[in-house]
């Protein structure tokens, strides 16, 4: 493998079950520069979508074309680099949601790492198989280019025992059944932005509310995760787009005993047909639910329950932190849905937390009112940039701390 050159070109790949976000970055010890940002959507559906923009693209790309698998998306990204007269990347970084108990730190991918990822797929069956496919397809299309696995669980690897340990028999805990936590790359990106905004760095007690189709709440003390709402898998915690979040385990026993559902059927229900979709019977998309809520009681209840579950988790994380200095909203809903932010924070007024509604509507920094006990911010999740930084740092000769 060659030594790192100034301005190493890094391709970040952030895969979902039917989407692939990507970014091409020029990374050096002096910083990071975005060259291309884009996404392939509706992979596996009849009409896939592909869009890309940025200074590395001659003109913005927005097209509709069939993409039966992630392979076609990788091929299209490669063609985009060729069309833009850009070379192949020096390294490819992948967001990997769950590495299981043995892979907790970002690493370069080799045969042993792939084997461990395959073994850990049971911990995140929604996310790991698509990520493995993308890793293999990227290796085929960019032969010889090193690849890196960047784990969402790494940020939470140091959780204190009281938060990490699940109240189950010790034998299961020794097999890796514990709280892992997710959205770690997003949390890292938030802390980096906070550090850039203030010479003193992030405040001591921060709650990060990553709210999107997947959603989690994380308590951060002195830059370290001390508790988080998701558990063994990304299915736990608050209500999400199609995922139930936390459930009484007796419900699962009931479904097995009385409804004769097997593990696959239960997984399908709690991961794909619950949450906002299950509550509303309409959609998992908060924008559609807002439009329907004026005349549909189920849509209105789904929104109320989402905000209620997030508010309860934020309050729990404030208790874990012993107070609060800052709340940050991020993710698709967290960044763009002022009504949801207002409802969540309105239920925290007893803590002295208040929003300036005009600033909240605009997403200004901060969105909290001057008299609020803590600041409230809206910041973009920059997972793809974090992937690029980690992938670059794993190459021989890379400086630390980019």
The Cα-based distances of 65 to 20, 138, 339 in angstroms read: 14, 20, 35
**Res 369: pLDDT:** 97
pLDDT band at 396 (very low <50, low <70, confident <90, very high): confident
Distance CA 347, CA 370 (A): 18
**Res 2: pLDDT:** 40
Q: What is the mean pLDDT of the chain?
A: 94
Q: What is the pLDDT of residues 182-213, one digit of tens each?
A: 999 999 999 999 999 988 889 999 999 999 99
Distance CA 149, CA 153 (A): 11
- State how beta strands 215-221 and 224-228 pair: antiparallel
Mean pLDDT across the stretch 351-355?
97
Phi-psi region of 183 (alpha: psi -120 to 50; beta: other; left: phi over 0): left
Asked if pLDDT for residue 346 goes beyond 50, the answer is yes
Distance CA 26, CA 131 (A): 23
271: annotated active-site residue = no
DSSP 150-186: EETTGGGTT--HHHH--SS-HHHHHTT-S-----HHH
Distance CA 342, CA 344 (A): 6
**Res 401: pLDDT:** 46
Cis peptide before 245 (omega within 30 of 0): no
Q: What is the pLDDT of residues 162-186, one digit of tens each?
A: 999 999 999 999 999 999 999 999 9
- State how beta strands 91-96 and 147-151 pair: parallel
Q: What is the pTM assigned to this prediction?
A: 0.94
Query: Catalytic residue among 29, 82, 110, 152, which?
Result: 152
Distance CA 274, CA 214 (A): 12
Residue ranges of domains in the chain, CATH in brackets: 8-151 (3.30.420.40), 197-378 (3.30.420.40)
């Amino acid at each position: 493998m060659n030594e790192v050159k100034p301005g190493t070109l890094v391709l970040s790949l952030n895969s979902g079950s039917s989407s692939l976000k990507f970014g091409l970055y020029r990374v050096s010890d002096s910083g990071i520069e975005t060259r291309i940002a884009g996404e392939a959507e509706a992979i596996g559906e009849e009409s896939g979508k592909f869009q890309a923009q940025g200074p590395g693209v001659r003109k913005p790309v927005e097209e509709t074309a069939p993409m039966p698998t992630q392979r076609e998306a990788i091929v299209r990204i490669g063609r985009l680099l060729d069309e833009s007269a850009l070379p192949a990347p020096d390294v490819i970084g992948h967001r990997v949601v769950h590495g299981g108990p043995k892979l907790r730190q970002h690493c370069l991918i080799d045969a042993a790492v792939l084997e461990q990822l395959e073994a850990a797929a049971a911990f995140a069956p929604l996310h790991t198989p698509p990520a493995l496919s993308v890793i293999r397809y990227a290796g085929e299309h960019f032969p010889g280019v090193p690849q890196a696995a960047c784990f969402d669980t790494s940020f939470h690897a140091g959780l204190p025992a009281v938060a990490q340990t699940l109240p189950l028999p010790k034998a299961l805990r020794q097999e890796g059944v514990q709280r892992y936590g997710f959205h770690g790359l997003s949390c890292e990106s938030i802390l980096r932005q906070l550090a850039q905004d203030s010479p003193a760095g992030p405040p001591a007690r921060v709650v990060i509310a990553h709210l999107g189709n997947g959603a989690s709440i994380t308590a951060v003390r002195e830059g370290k995760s001390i508790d988080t709402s998701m558990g063994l898998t990304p299915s736990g915690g608050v209500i999400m787009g199609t995922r139930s979040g936390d459930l009484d385990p007796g419900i699962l026993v009931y479904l097995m005993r009385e409804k004769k559902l097997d593990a696959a059927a239960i997984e399908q229900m709690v991961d794909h047909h619950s949450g906002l979709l299950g509550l509303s019977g309409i959609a998992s998309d908060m924008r559609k639910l807002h439009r329907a809520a004026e005349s549909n009681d189920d849509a209105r209840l789904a929104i109320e329950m989402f905000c209620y579950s997030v508010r309860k988790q934020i309050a729990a994380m404030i208790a874990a932190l012993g107070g609060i200095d800052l709340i940050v909203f991020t993710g698709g809903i967290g960044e763009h849905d002022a009504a949801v932010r207002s409802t969540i924070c309105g239920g925290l007024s007893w803590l002295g937390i208040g929003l300036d509604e005009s600033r909240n509507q605009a997403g200004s920094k901060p969105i909290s009112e001057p008299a609020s006990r803590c600041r409230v911010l809206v910041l973009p999740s920059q997972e793809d940039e974090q992937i690029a930084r980690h992938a670059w740092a794993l190459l021989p000769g890379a400086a630390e701390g980019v």
